[in-house]
Amino acid sequence: MKYTRLGTSGLKVSRIGLGMMSYGDPDPADQKWMLREDAAEPIVRRAVEAGVTFFDTADMYSLGRSEEITGRLLTKLFPHRDDYVLATKVYFPMGPGPNDGGLSRKHIMASIDASLRRLKTDHVDLYQIHRWDYETPIEETMEALYDVVQSGKARYIGASSMFAHQFAKAQYTARAAGWTRFVSMQNHYNLVYREEEREMNPLCLDEGVGVIPWSPLARGLLAGSRRRDGEQRTVRAGNDALAEEFYTEADFDVVDAVAAIANERGLPMAQIALAWLLSKPVVSAPIVGATKPAHLDDAVAAVDVALTDGEIARMEQPYQPHPVRGHS
């Protein structure tokens, strides 16, 4: 495993982050691919043994269950709390009440305490806003996050999918007031969704913000889980409505290019697609979900795959622009 700073902050993370959303309560309706704690433990243990030190979850994943599993497993697998970097998120509703979601001071302060209880720790290393809150003034949100950091409950703060102008406004608000600024952006970014290259990624590079993409394999599309003829090769591929919304027929031209290079290299498609992300200077660590040991092994191996300029160009050439996806 290799390690890098999260943007220009002093925080060092493994170049692969393990996304913990895959571990929770399988929903018989649309999340059959999730793993319960006993099935998740061998995969998380394998990640720890491979040198992964960066783990990302959110309060809303299985309504807190993912945080509970994450807290128990990391406490068991690491001898010391400072041996790993723990990230979680706030925004989505955690109950039916009018203040049970969003980025108000009330919800942020209640949510950080609830997350810490579930995670069995006194602090998170990275506390992220999961989405932009159109109903709460950004000044209120940024001051509340500053107070969370000042209290010692979070070491750094980060953000997730939003428009570049919103992120710039948040950073400016914090800078002008002397509050804590975001050190990371967890955005929707992969070979078949590159809209972030227009504004968000250049902004992050200029501001020294580390990009930690979610869905780096396009919900399995870039790993070969779906075929152009409609065949679905995994449980998740058959139970993932968002994949149908996010990706189009034209994306299979990119998938075909990845498959061709993977075949030439004698490597799995997932390694090639992740190596492409890791080649981008703005990317600190893709957040990878793993429900099988092979998923984790491919992610770790991708760190050592060096693509040529020609291979990168071949995979990028077929790209077709997309509507904005992943901001809600």
Catalytic residues: 61
Cα dihedral 300→45→287→149 (10° resolution): -130
Q: Which two tokens stand for residue 180?
A: 């804590």
Strand partners, 128: 89, 158
Give the CA diameter of the chain.
Answer: 55
Instruction: Round to whole Å and give the CA distance between 61 and 107.
Output: 17
179 DSSP assignment: P
Which residues, in sequence order, are CB contacts of 58 under 8 Å at separation 6+?
A: 21, 66, 67, 88, 89, 90, 92, 128, 130
Q: How many residues does the chain have?
A: 328
**Burial (CB count <10 Å: 0-12, 13-18, 19+), residue 174:** buried
Instruction: With beta carbons less than 8 A apart as the criterion, state whether 272 and 247 touch.
Output: no
β-pair type (54-56, 85-90): parallel
The whole-angstrom separation of Cα 266 and Cα 255 is: 16
Element (H, E) at 301: helix 293-302
Q: What is the dihedral angle through the alpha carbons of 218, 34, 303, 81, rounded to the nearest 10 degrees?
A: 130
Q: With both helix axes pointing from N to C terminus, report the angle between 65-77 and 37-49 in degrees, rounded to the nearest 10.
A: 50
